[in-house]
Structure formats: structure tokens, C-alpha cells
Amino acid sequence: MSTTAKSNATTRRKPTQSAQERPAAQVVQFPLFAPKPRQTAPQEVKVMTCECAKDAVSVRLMPDPDAMTRIMDETFGPQGWEYRYYYMNGVTFCGSGVLNPITGTYPRKDEKAPAGKFRLRDPKDWETTGSFIASVAKWGAGSDVLRLPPIVLSADQVDIDPVQKPGKRPNDPPTVVGYRLHHALTVDKLLRAEDGHIIGVQLLQGERKVIWQAE
């Protein structure tokens, strides 16, 4: 009579890993690290006229939006940030977000265009452009320039011309209806303190140099 031998082999289970042997989960520290955008260069700044009178002009320095796009690309990578516009209560907002490598999402910082009285050819375009500038400044791009106050320059520092309107009759003298800069201002140099914030600006009006220093 034949018999079938029963196997004595048993299945061995892998020993359970101890807590010390298990790979540690990534530790998340707050605030999450994000690269810091570089300082804004003089050629990346525009001069916007706020008000112009016979004896003085008020201007505001603004980061160039195209330059701010390049700085955001340099800092976070073209795929490392995004932005979008939306409207709320008749106001244009821009929300820019930087990629969070832990969650894979883009937390946004929403802003509207900086407040102030500007001489604008297209106010609606400024709502879009200004909100973008203000939003990316929250991540550091152009924030060194945006925090500067309005700059007032006297007629002794810059050339100001009257804007004239012809008289109603041929023999009537022209009427002064306003004032404007003889030549547009450009930023030549930015003077910085040891911590990097801007404490002075050298502007150019044609070949004429104009110096402004923070109080």
C-alpha cells in the first residue's frame, strides 16, 4: 500500500520591520522654503507720471511686467509658477501662485493694481498690468521697487513744458491746459542700503541727471 509523504515545509513570513528600520516620512517645516527672487535692475524699472504742474512733477517707479515675468521664470522655473486674472465687484485681480513641491498645488497671492493717481493712456490695461505687478511682488519679484513712495521733483530738477490749446479765434493767444515733462524720465541707477532696500535713485531726462534720495 503506497502512502503519500506529507511535506514538512512551512511558509516563512518576513520579519516585521521595527520603527527604526522603516524609512522616515519627509518632514514638512513651516514656512515652506521658497527661492528668493533677485533684486530688480535699473533697466527693469519704468517711471510713471502721477501728476505734473508748472513747478513740480510727481512720479512713481514701477517694475516692468515683462521683466517680472523673466525674474519669476529665473527663480521658480517656467513650470514652477502660474497666474490668472479674475473680476470681483468690477475690479480686476491677479492671482499668482508658486508650486508647492509637497502638495503639488499652486497657492495663490491675489492683488489688485496699486492705488494712486496715474496719467494713463488705457486705465483698463493698467488694471490688468498693475494687478500682475502687485501679485508677483508678494513673492518678491519687484517688491524692492514697488515699496518706494511717490517721488516729487521740482522744476529746478526737471524740464516741464506747458500743454497749450489754440484759442477759439485765430488771433486769440493759446491757452495753457496742463503741463508735461519735456522728456520722459528713465532709471539710470538704484542706490541700495546694506540690506538691499533702495535708498536712492538716479534718473535721466535726456542727458540730464536727476538724483532722488529717500528721507
Q: What tens digit of pLDDT does each residue of 149-193 get?
A: 999 999 999 999 999 988 888 888 888 999 999 999 999 999 999
Are the C-beta atoms of residues 72 and 63 closer than 8 Å to each other?
Answer: no
Regarding predicted confidence, which is higher, 148 or 167?
148
pLDDT of residue 120: 85
- How far apart, in whole angstroms, are the C-alpha atoms of residue 112 and residue 132? 8
Instruction: Grade residue 39 by pLDDT with cuts at 50, 70 and 90.
Output: very high
Residue with cell 530688480: 40
Rg (CA), the chain: 30
4 pLDDT exceeds 50?
Answer: no
5 pLDDT exceeds 60?
Answer: no
Residue with cell 486674472: 85
Alpha helices per DSSP H over the chain: 65-76, 123-137, 143-146
Are the C-beta atoms of residues 69 and 108 closer than 8 Å to each other?
Answer: no
Instruction: Grade residue 30 by pLDDT with cuts at 50, 70 and 90.
Output: very low
Residues of the chain above pLDDT 90, percent = 72
209 pLDDT exceeds 70?
Answer: yes
Mean pLDDT of all residues in the chain? 88
Q: What tens digit of pLDDT does each residue of 80-138 get?
A: 999 999 999 999 999 999 999 888 999 999 999 998 889 888 888 999 999 999 999 99
- pTM for this prediction: 0.80
3 pLDDT exceeds 50?
Answer: no
List CB contacts of 55: < 8 A, sequence separation 6 or more.
Answer: 154, 155, 160
pLDDT of residue 11: 44
- How far apart, in whole angstroms, are the C-alpha atoms of residue 134 and residue 123? 16
Of 82, 191, 184, the residue nearest 139 (C-alpha)? 82
Q: What angle do CA 69, 71, 77 make, to 5 degrees?
A: 85
List CB contacts of 108: < 8 A, sequence separation 6 or more.
Answer: 95, 96, 97
Of 148, 132, 128, the residue nearest 65 (C-alpha)? 132
Regarding predicted confidence, which is higher, 201 or 20?
201
Residues of the chain above pLDDT 70, percent = 85
Regarding predicted confidence, which is higher, 55 or 26?
55
